[in-house]
């Protein structure tokens, strides 16, 4: 038995299920839903393109609606659309006919979900939507249904059978609708030229937002916190600067503060192995790295992390376009900023 799997206590009065039956049942669900998703391929056609074009041309928002499990899927589709560049929100079909229809303006496109295409709450609000002049896109499992016929565009998400062995619980049908919604969102994302930076702007509190929006200038050490010594400094002076600033290295600069090289903890260890090295008299210029890695302050913090990983270094000097030293950061700064 896997060490991470602990046996559950026996429940009094309950049948202990056969493990083999559980595995077989679960795999059957996955097989069923995978087959249904592949069946969606030929339905990505001119109708799908028309739906994307209608939503892309929408001057307002894409309003999704539905009831029950279809409502849950509609809410998820709205969230995905909104985070990928298509302004969108969800309206509960039941609440819509009791005042929430006021949330839908004449500039919006409505995406209505109903597997049967006969959901009363959805059909109740269709005449109002049509009268207001909203484009109506329906996503149903029955192309001949009332909702499908009333819609301007119908997306067919029919499945042969539900994964539920009773054929009652929405399982495969909701998965198909969800995937069709994802297909719409991603197709429009690419059509808009939506970038990872655009995505991060709508997720500033998440790890992706931090990775994509945080610049080196936001987290680097600047001013007096920068470890640096002049070109005439001795090895001992460089060591003192490194010890005081605690970044594991120091920049070596000329009289105009331009970067000449970097002296690191690793360079110090290698120098100490030389029996002829004298900490008091050896010029730091003789033992520094004359081709150090540096980066600009306007670059993203994640780029510094990538540089450190690629070159197996733990700190980097930040320079401007003329190679003036303007900052420094190490791996601990990136960790504190949760970039890595």
Question: What does the pLDDT look like over 303-324, one tens digit per residue?
Answer: 888 899 999 998 999 999 999 9
Minimum mean pLDDT among 15-19, 81-85, 117-121: which range? Answer: 15-19
235: pLDDT strictly greater than 80 = yes
Read off the pLDDT of each residue in 163-172 and give the average, rounded to a whole number: 86
Q: Which residue has the higher pLDDT, 237 or 15?
A: 237
- Domain annotation covers residue 210: no
Domain shared by 94 and 240, yes or no? no
- Cβ neighbours, 10 Å, residue 221: 18
Instruction: Supply the pLDDT for residue 274.
Output: 77
Average confidence (pLDDT) over 190-206: 65
Same domain (yes/no): 186, 228: no
How much is the pLDDT for 260?
A: 95
Same domain as 187, residue 279? no
Q: What is the mean pLDDT of residues 104-118?
A: 96
Sequence-ordered list of residues with C-beta below 8 angstroms from that of 288, at least 6 positions apart, any chain = 238, 252, 260, 261, 262, 263, 267
Mean of the pLDDT values across residues 85-93? 93
Residue 106 lies in a domain: yes
| 206 part of a folded domain | no
Together in a domain, 28 and 62: yes
Residues 261 and 161 in one domain: no
Instruction: Confirm whether 207 is domain-assigned.
Output: no
Q: What is the model's pLDDT at position 318?
A: 95
Same domain, 138 and 24: yes
> What's 261's domain CATH number?
3.10.580.10
Q: Do 245 and 162 lie in a common domain?
A: no
Residue 317 lies in a domain: yes
For residues 179 and 203, give the distance between their C-alpha atoms in angstroms, rounded to a whole number.
Answer: 22
Nearest residue to 122 via CA among 178, 64, 67 = 67
Which of residues 114 and 211 earns the better pLDDT score? 114
- Residue 224 sits in the same domain as residue 162: no
Query: 42-60: per-residue pLDDT in tens?
Result: 999 999 999 999 999 999 9
| Residue 281 pLDDT grade (very low, low, confident, very high; cuts 50, 70, 90) | confident
Tell me what pLDDT residue 200 has: 59
Averaged pLDDT of the chain = 88
Q: Which residue has the higher pLDDT, 254 or 193?
A: 254
In this structure, the answer to whether residues 241 and 324 fall within a common structural domain is: yes
Task: Identify the domain containing residue 75 by its residue range.
Answer: 20-194
pTM > 0.75: yes or no: no
Last residue of a domain, one of 160, 194, 228: 194
d(Cα 114, Cα 187) in Å, to the nearest integer? 22
Q: 185 and 238: one domain?
A: no
Distances (CA, A) of 254 to 17, 72, 231, 267, 285: 76, 64, 6, 20, 11
Q: Grade residue 117 by pLDDT with cuts at 50, 70 and 90.
A: very high
Residues 49 and 174 in one domain: yes
The confidence score (pLDDT) of residue 1 equals: 45
Pairwise CA distance, residues 185 & 80, whole Å: 7
Number of domains observed in the structure of the chain:
2
pLDDT reported for residue 302:
85
Which pLDDT belongs to residue 203?
A: 54
| One domain for residues 58 and 92 | yes
pLDDT at 279: 74
List strands edge to edge, sheet with 153-156: 88-92, 62-66, 109-113, 135-140, 153-156
Q: Quote the pLDDT of residue 334.
A: 87
pLDDT at 212 over 90: no
CATH number at residue 157: 3.40.50.10490
Q: Does 203 map to a domain?
A: no
Instruction: Give the per-residue pLDDT at 7.
Output: 57
- Split at pLDDT 50, 70, 90, the class of 28 is very high
């Amino acid at each position: 038995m896997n060490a991470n799997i602990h046996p559950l206590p026996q429940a009094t009065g309950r049948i202990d299920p056969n493990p083999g039956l559980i595995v077989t049942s679960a795999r059957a669900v996955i097989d069923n839903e995978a087959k249904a998703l592949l069946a969606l391929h030929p339905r990505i056609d001119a109708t799908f393109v028309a739906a994307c074009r209608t939503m892309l041309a929408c001057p307002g928002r894409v309003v999704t609606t539905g009831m029950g499990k279809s409502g849950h899927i509609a809410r998820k589709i709205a969230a995905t659309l909104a985070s990928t560049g298509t302004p969108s929100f969800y309206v509960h079909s039941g609440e819509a006919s009791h005042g929430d229809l006021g949330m839908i303006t004449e500039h919006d496109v409505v995406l209505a979900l109903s597997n049967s295409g006969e959901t009363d709450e959805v059909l109740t609000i269709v005449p109002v939507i049509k009268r207001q002049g909203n484009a109506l896109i329906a996503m149903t499992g029955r192309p001949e249904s009332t909702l499908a016929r009333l819609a301007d565009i119908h997306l067919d998400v029919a499945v042969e059978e539900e994964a539920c062995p009773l054929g009652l619980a929405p399982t495969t049908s909701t998965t198909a609708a969800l995937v069709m919604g994802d297909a719409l969102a991603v197709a429009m994302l690419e059509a808009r030229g939506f970038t990872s930076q655009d995505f991060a702007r709508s997720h500033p509190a998440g790890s992706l937002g931090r990775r994509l929006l945080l610049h080196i200038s936001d987290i680097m050490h600047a001013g007096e916190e920068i470890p640096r010594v002049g070109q005439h400094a001795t090895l001992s002076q460089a060591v003192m600067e490194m010890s005081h600033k605690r970044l594991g290295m120091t920049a070596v600069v000329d009289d105009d503060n331009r970067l000449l090289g970097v002296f690191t903890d690793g360079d110090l260890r290698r120098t100490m192995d030389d029996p002829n090295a004298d900490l008091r008299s050896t010029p730091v210029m003789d033992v520094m790295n004359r081709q150090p890695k540096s980066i600009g302050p306007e670059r993203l913090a994640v780029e510094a992390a990538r540089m450190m990983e690629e070159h197996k270094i733990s700190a980097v000097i930040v320079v401007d376009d003329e190679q003036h030293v303007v900052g420094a950061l190490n791996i601990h700064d990136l960790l504190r900023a949760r970039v890595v």
